[in-house]
Structure 1
């Protein structure tokens, strides 16, 4: 079982495991793995030594300047670099579905059951497995304990008084985010336990989706001819494995809360660091046929045999009253909660636990401002919400599950979609929650407009959608620590606009407000070695800040390039504005964004150096491929430019501005002719028009502009920027070369491929596979009627990341054909939801052509109905 994972397909594995698991209520769709499995392939993170000699020479200045900056940041300022090139995270093939809702912090539970990744302080991660955080089962028959086992395959050097080393061959993990199941067959006991993990991540729900809670439901199947008494014990350390666990002053207390005819009890673990204090809570629902008991405090070091003996004696804990004393400096404290029930012969029963954490007020690294998390709107900001949160979770999780099932069912039951796609679509959503995500209330005195009012081409100080739904931010990646990195959000944004569209619009208002701002502070940019302003006016920022500083207040944490000269950021803003309007039909949003779109397009005009209607790249890496230089008009940026002109024409007509329409239409006509003349080679669009040896490389992302037009309901009949026959020829070239001629067609699409069928190795990025780009490419293929090719392209990435490399719930930005990956847990792969939009659109197009009259914009109507 554990040696075959990398050699079997998901379908084969499912068929071998499904008979054991479906009877336990586990769906057949999702990601599945045996707890005894070991991944054969062990990859390493990208490092400087992996750069070719020519690239080392080219980037020598960058390396020297980065080293000086890194030393100052880490040794002088004692801060974490926004990208740490010397301390990349090693690949740990252990992660499972993260716990918690959106924007309240996350705790990740690994697929073997360990609590192993923590993001409670906003945007700041540490990767520590806390050994004492476990579930333990106790079976009793006739008043005697017959079996007691920690449900962990580990054999740690601590807590030797516990029974470790559960045989992983008897257990399986299954994830279909936001739920996960672990099925344990207890050897020799004829008992099966199924732990179902539920987090309230529910599309179009802006209340419960914000809650920092998770529920564990333990279903117990007794296949014996005699009854058993079964207890599950949940142990949790006060802290997260961070060094401040030993800072002293932490304390625990039991609690009981009864309201609305339901009671819960458990233990509160008050964690009291100097910054961002919080309370962890483990709780259970009290019922007449359940026995809830607890141990308020125990030391999670030494053998810890006292707690083990307490449970083994009678299947319950002592349940002392009163709080524990504050911990002395250097000591940790933990708590335990046990719930027991009787399970008749040949029958089932269940037990429920809740884990929640209450950190209502947060400060970022600069500690300049306090922010209230979104959930405080419903549960208060006094840091006393844990009992109410746990009560709410334990009495509402069934409703959450019903909503999740209703959302997922149409896709899961669609027999035309492969199983791997269903797993990828839902499981990649983890990053919306576990991407260092913050969701805060907008302060009453906040002004998101940048100080430029609507009548002057700006925004309202507090747009209604931001005031009502708050501010939202997520990281470019857990290792690339910048919030709302906009060139990458362009790809990832499909998940947000399709599932939580109000948050997508809120992000757009924040970006729009930052456009009109400027920060003239001069700083050194590491690639060029030149000083330039942090933020120029009327250009889209690269990001809205570093969580170790003060996001929203100080933007552009990225300082490798001066992104005021990037060619794609402004265009991606314009394209997202129209796509979002198309999907939501929010006319106020369009009206507010229109003057900002005009401002950024005017700023972009300066990149058309020869006045032919087509922008030129600079000869540097001046777009999202920030390590891959491009000179002159290019397929990627030129395509985004033409697509932006198309939507500007469309929006000008919608706002009844004929003069502006005619201006952009003229530029579009000239630019389209230049694009075709300079870049089309008869089969595909060349990488750029510089005439260099590699300018005719095949770029997998060459149709990105056209992709957004199709996602926005625009096709060949709208302004004719990209003739259908040329787009389809380009996509066929990409499929034949970048996909099928790379790694045997099994790893997705390489970014750059030479027409002779070898990867373009001119840069550190041209021979990488970017998973998020591949999903966007697959969506483009689906829009163009190439669904089989699109699915084949995307499947290579899923199989590589989830099944071969063990990167579940940490999908990276990139991997190479062999040995190397880069930037674990990255934003861009959320673009898989663009594939679902393309499938929806294709289905509606077929329905419309069959005469049912599905109108353009009905997708937006569907969203509005769900929002209301």
Structure 2
């Protein structure tokens, strides 16, 4: 690959020409067709009513060929196993105590990793009120109603069923599921998946069903209120299903859709007894809705599920208050097939006896004229206003209760609001997405990735609560003592926000990972981003001297040291915000990246929001963490050293002495401290940080630059000259903050560009044929660095950040190709839609499904926005360059 950027573009162009005759998608051989190309011949060329062109699409009959397994201890190579023997023994003892004695779930379960189920679709619900995931084949299969606690159970009876009637006779009735379960044998299962496809563009999804032999097409549109810069409706625990019906016959039809739902979520407490259902009708503001409330009464966090429909003159809404979802369930099926409606009994069902489950059904009917179309609307809502985390010590109030109350009776009002406002939600979503979707210079895969990866903002175990009246964010430390206001205005107004590191790595606001993911929040819900930062800042000034054993070192040290950034703000199975640092593998007080990532985010957030009060509040906190950080400069040359352990976000990859990753973050942090010192008019601090920056930059260049890239570290060990894909992370944040040049430059531009080109050549193009993104570590000779359990992994979120850095440096095509490899691998080859993992290897293994870090794809959008802003004068009408890499 030539050193010149233009030469690199010519090389990629010639590769495209050479691949024209291959079985391709957009110009490159992927070994098999993408799922978007696997539509059955039975699927109409008309995609369905209102389905957009962009997004992730899959035929319901599709089967993914590759079946991967989760990383387990046995996957550690022999060369690395001795480094982890002590950890393994200590973890086993801790795991046994946690699971067998305390009867708790471990925050990371190394013996119970989730197997890959290639079934998930767009999750339902807004932000922070819990989520329910509906699979791409239509099943309700992943549940997170108790905050941060997941279970993965497909509830068979939760289904949509269609009934077609002509001339008073039922001619077709079918459960819209491809499954053939052993239960509910009285229903007509086994819909042929070749006649249907699923299409996701989060926060909406479409499933298009062509009913074989009926000349009827159903399009189910799923809508959740995920709306940027909206802090009310985005918090609502609701979803709407709009069924558009196209009748292509020359005669009229009567069409009914039935929605069935079990009272519960497939857990053992569904049979605990005491659950009950009741019908309801609510009319206000000239609109009426009716449906069934399913009251679920477990000992912890009771809630009400609600299935509802809007009443209209030409629609008929009917219901079955209660039925048993076991046995054949023929009576419910017969009830619908008789006349296309349900019996609609009045009154509530009795509480269930222990050992029994109860379910409810709701049917909506309408007429569809010959060659015409009509639509039916359903809502699913859930009301769990008060939550208790696993410790059961405190009660928290969810954000949406500000608008719908805390009494637990909000389900009818929630469903009424959703059914009368979803059109406005869709309008807002379309206005937000349209500029990107209509930008022909952007490839289709990128548009799908950008929006669909956003699922984690809601489905990352997310909790959004009101700040209690007695809460004190900084634990009594006031501003004059280096602390914060007891209740910062942004938290008081917008509440507290937390999301998990991953659905399997159960820690809230894991800060070294949030560094990558934070772009989605600061760009789309900036008040939540600032709220999270205030919580982190409040915990910085606090301490917890309680001694505990850290599993890697075998040494005891305090849970939380003062004036250092915590690793996380707690485990939802304990008491988040009160007890931080659920992560006990390493003592993160000695981690080199956490403090620096706080400083970099503070300035980036200020740059994007222009919130001067935020900058003023954070300035003393930034000084405190930088003073804690400077102790890692052991030789006084202005550059920090790593410890010889895994003391940063790559917590399985040891690093010794000055390093590209942490050293780069340090220099970038000094840059922004200089900038902030000037903004707060503190010339003394500016000179202090300027001196450190000048000396540290010289040391960084002398110790790590080898002419082509920055070495992994300066230790001189066998693998110290490995090429790290994330070596420019500090520079990435400077560019995201419109720094990195002039007075606020830490790295020479030509060296950054040369390093990025080396990463592209080696970590991207020399790994897996250039089709799987960037491997974390690559040897200069072009083979992966296998010195650790993480160096030969691809971290999807890191790759998206790397791609953003390339775009900032004008390497648009290289950046797009780098990122596309991850999207194609995860979404189209491995079947990991809506569960993007932290990592995968070239073959066989993945690690930590449904992970926070891939939200960093929004950094790519920020980079694209910055490029347009800097390179295209408003007076010019020159379009941005076309990204033709893999997509037409």
Query: Which category of TM-score, normalised to the shorter sequence, fits these structures?
Result: over 0.9
Kindly indicate whether the alpha-carbon contact (under 8 Å) linking 2:123 and 2:134 is maintained by their aligned counterparts in 1: yes
Asked if structure 1 preserves the Cα contact closer than 8 Å seen for 2:40 and 2:194, the reply is: no
Q: Write out per-residue CA displacement over residues 189-243 of structure 1, whole angstroms, 9 at most, x where no aligned residue.
A: 0000000000000000000000000000000000000000000000000000000
Answer with 521-530 or 5-14: which moved more: 5-14
Distance 2:49 2:825 in 1: 29
Relative to structure 1, the CA distance from residue 661 to residue 15 in structure 2 (aligned partners, 3 Å threshold; closer, same or farther) is farther
What corresponds to 1:855 in structure 2?
A: none
* Unmatched segments (≥5 aa) in structure 2: 1-26, 866-883
Aligned pair in 2 of structure 1 residues 656, 124: CA closer, same or farther (>3 Å)? Answer: same
Give yes or no for contact 2:509–2:568 (8 Å, CA) kept in 1.
yes
Shift of 1:11: 6.8
Deviation by residue 1:36-92 (Cα, 9 ceiling, x = unmatched): 000000000001111011211111000000000000000000000000000000000
TM-score of the pair, normalised by structure 2 = 0.94
Quick one: structure 1 residues 585 and 386, their matched pair in 2 at CA, closer, same or farther if it must change by over 3 Å?
Answer: same
Deviation string, structure 1 residues 409-440 (Cα, Å, up to 9, x no partner): 00000000000000000000000000000000
Tell me by how many angstroms 1:4 deviates. 13
2:675–2:744 Cα contact (<8 Å) kept: no
Aligned-residue offset at 1:449: 1.9
Q: Match of 2:885, SS?
A: helix
Structure 2 equivalent of residue 380 of structure 1: 405
Instruction: Give distance in 2, aligned partners of 1:611 and 1:15.
Output: 66
Does the 8 Å contact 1:608/1:615 carry over to 2? yes
Residues in 2 aligned to 1:565 and 1:189: alpha-carbon distance in whole angstroms? 67
Secondary structure of 1:675's partner? helix
CA deviation digits over 1:616-657, x for unaligned, max 9? 000000000000000000000000000000000000000000
Bigger mean CA offset, 127-136 vs 716-725: 716-725
**2:693–2:746 Cα contact (<8 Å) kept:** yes
Structure 1 segment 512-551 matched on structure 2, within 5 A? 512-551=537-576
Structure 1 pair 107–23 and aligned structure 2 pair: CA distance change class (3 A): closer
Secondary structure, counterpart of 1:234 in structure 2: strand
Whole-Å Cα distance in 2 between the matches of residues 722 and 556 of structure 1?
33
Contact kept, 8 Å, 1:138 with 1:145, in 2: the verdict is yes
CA deviation vs aligned residue, 1:339-377 (integer Å, no higher than 9, x gap): 000000000000000000000000000000000000000
The 3 A distance-change label for structure 1 pair 794 and 867 is: closer
Change (3 A) 1:308 1:812: same
Counterpart-to-counterpart distance in 1, 2:245 and 2:690 = 66
Which range is displaced more, 552-561 or 455-464? 455-464
Shift of 1:717: 1.5
Map of 2:885 onto structure 1: 865
1:609 shift after superposition: 0.1
Q: Kindly state the Cα deviation for residue 531 of structure 1 after the two structures are TM-superposed.
A: 0.2
**Cα distance in 1 for residues equivalent to 2:300 and 2:717:** 54
Task: Give a deviation string over 1:699-745, Cα, whole Å, max 9, x none.
Answer: 00000000000000102213331000000000000000000000000
Alpha-carbon distance in 1 for matches of 2:337, 2:711: 70
Aligned to 1:463: 488
Describe the shift of the 1:701–1:488 C-alpha distance in structure 2 as closer, same or farther (beyond 3 A). same
- 8 A Cα contact 1:5 1:803, kept in partner: no
> Following the alignment from structure 1 to structure 2, what is the Cα–Cα distance between the partners of residues 101 and 479?
21
Give distance in 1, aligned partners of 2:50 and 2:653.
Answer: 48
- Kindly tell me: are residues 809 and 123 of structure 1, through their superposed partners in 2, closer, same or farther at Cα, counting changes over 3 Å? same
Q: CA deviation at 1:180?
A: 0.1
SS for the counterpart of 2:786 is coil
SS in 2 for 1:780: helix
Distance across 1 between alignment mates of 2:61 and 2:161: 18
Question: 1:10 touches 1:420 (CA, 8 Å); kept in 2?
Answer: no
Q: Is the 8 A contact 2:43 2:195 kept in 1?
A: no
3-state SS of 1:534 partner? strand
TM-score, structure 1 as length reference = 0.96
Query: Structure 1 residues 486 and 35 mapped into 2: Cα distance closer, same or farther (>3 Å)?
Result: same
Q: Kindly state the Cα deviation for residue 17 of structure 1 after the two structures are TM-superposed.
A: 9.5
Q: Does 1:664 align with 2:689?
A: yes
Q: 1:409 to 1:3 in 2, by over 3 A?
A: closer
CA distance in 2, matches of 1:14, 1:683: 45
Contact 2:71-2:846 within 8 A present in 1 as well: yes
8 Å CA contact 1:6–1:803 kept in 2: the answer is no
Taking a change above 3 Å as real, the CA distance of residues 304 and 12 of structure 1, as seen in their structure-2 partners, is: closer
8 Å CA contact 1:519, 1:536 repeated in 2? yes
1:575 equivalent in structure 2: 600
* 1:12 to partner: Cα distance: 4.7
Q: What is the deviation of 1:576?
A: 0.1
Q: Secondary structure at the match of 1:729?
A: helix
Q: How far apart are the structure 2 equivalents of 1:341 and 1:720?
A: 65
Change beyond 3 A, Cα 1:564–1:21: farther
C-alpha displacement at 1:14, in angstroms? 8.2
SS at match of 2:617: helix
Q: Which moved more, 1:276-285 or 1:454-463?
A: 454-463
In structure 2, C-alpha distance between the alignment counterparts of 1:326 and 1:118, rounded to whole Å: 23
Mapped partners of 2:221, 2:61: distance in 1? 19
The answer as to 2:388 corresponding to 1:368 is no
CA deviation vs aligned residue, 1:91-149 (integer Å, no higher than 9, x gap) = 00000000000000000000000000000000000000000000000000000000000
Matched residues, number: 844
5 Å matches for 1:282-321? 282-321=307-346
- Contact in 1 for aligned 2:462/2:497 (Cα 8 Å): yes
Q: Secondary structure at the match of 2:45?
A: helix
- In structure 1, how many angstroms separate the alpha carbons of the residues matched to 2:851 and 2:621? 29
Bigger Cα displacement from structure 2, 530-539 vs 49-58:
49-58
Q: Are the equivalent residues in 1 in contact too, given 2:445–2:823 (CA < 8 A)? A: yes
Q: Alpha carbons of 1:645 and 1:612: their partners in 2 closer, same or farther (altered >3 Å)? A: same
Kept in 1: contact 2:316–2:365 (CA 8 A): yes
Query: Which one of the candidate residues 738, 743, 749 is aligned to 1:713?
Result: 738
1:22 positional shift: 3.8
Contact 2:179–2:189 under 8 Å retained in 1: yes
Deviation, 1:456, is: 1.8
Q: 1:740–1:83: structure 2 CA closer, same or farther, 3 Å change rule?
A: same
How far residue 19 of structure 1 moved from its aligned partner, in angstroms, is 6.2
Q: 1: CA distance between counterparts of 2:788 and 2:144?
A: 33
What is the Cα-based RMSD across aligned positions, in Å? 3.1
Matched-pair contact (CA < 8 Å) for 1:5–1:37: no
SS at match of 1:16: coil
Name the residue aligned to 2:269: 244
Shift of 1:297: 0.1
Change beyond 3 A, Cα 1:17–1:201: farther
Contact 1:6 1:39 in 2 (8 A): no
Residue 14 of structure 1 contacts residue 28 of structure 1 at CA under 8 Å; is this kept in 2? no
Deviation sequence 1:646-700 (CA, Å, 0-9, x none): 0000000000000000000000000000000000000000000000011000000
Mapped contact 1:217–1:353 kept (Cα < 8 A): yes
Contact 1:284 1:353 (8 Å CA) reproduced:
yes
Cα distance change, pair 624–5 in 1 and its aligned pair in 2 (3 A):
closer
Name the SS of the counterpart of 1:153 in structure 2: coil
Report the secondary structure of 2:58's partner residue: strand
- Using the alignment, how far apart are the partners of 1:549 and 1:378 within structure 2? 28
The answer to whether the 8 Å contact 1:3/1:38 transfers is no
- Distance of 1:73 and 1:518 partners within structure 2: 24
1:609-688 → structure 2 map (5 Å cutoff): 609-688=634-713
Are the aligned partners of 2:591 and 2:648 in contact in 1 as well (CA < 8 Å)?
yes
Deviation at 1:291, TM superposition (A): 0.2
User: C-alpha offsets along residues 815-841 of structure 1, whole Å, 9 cap, x if unaligned?
Assistant: 00000000000000000000000000x
Is the 2:638–2:696 contact (alpha carbons within 8 Å) kept by the matching residues of 1? yes
Which stretch has the larger CA shift, 481-490 or 719-728?
A: 719-728
Tell me the secondary structure at the aligned position of residue 626 of structure 1.
coil
Quickly say closer, same or farther: Cα 1:55–1:398, change in 2 above 3 A. Answer: same
Q: Is the 2:482–2:541 Cα contact (8 Å) retained in structure 1? A: no
User: Partners in 2 of 1:647 and 1:4 — Cα distance?
Assistant: 43
Shift of 1:6: 7.3
Taking structure 1 as reference, are residues 586 and 21 closer, same or farther at Cα in structure 2, changes over 3 Å only? Answer: farther
Given that 2:813 and 2:885 are in contact with CA atoms closer than 8 Å, whether structure 1 keeps it comes out as: no
Cα 1:17–1:62 change in 2 (3 A) is farther
User: Post-superposition shift, 1:21?
Assistant: 4.3
> In 2 relative to 1, CA 238–23 (structure 1 residues): closer, same or farther, beyond 3 Å?
closer
- TM-fit CA distance, 1:608: 0.2
> Are the structure 2 counterparts of residues 866 and 511 from structure 1 closer, same or farther at C-alpha, using a change threshold of 3 Å?
farther
Deviations 1:452-473 (A, max 9, x none): 1112221111111000000000
Q: Aligned in 2, Cα 1:677/1:18: closer, same or farther, shift over 3 Å?
A: farther
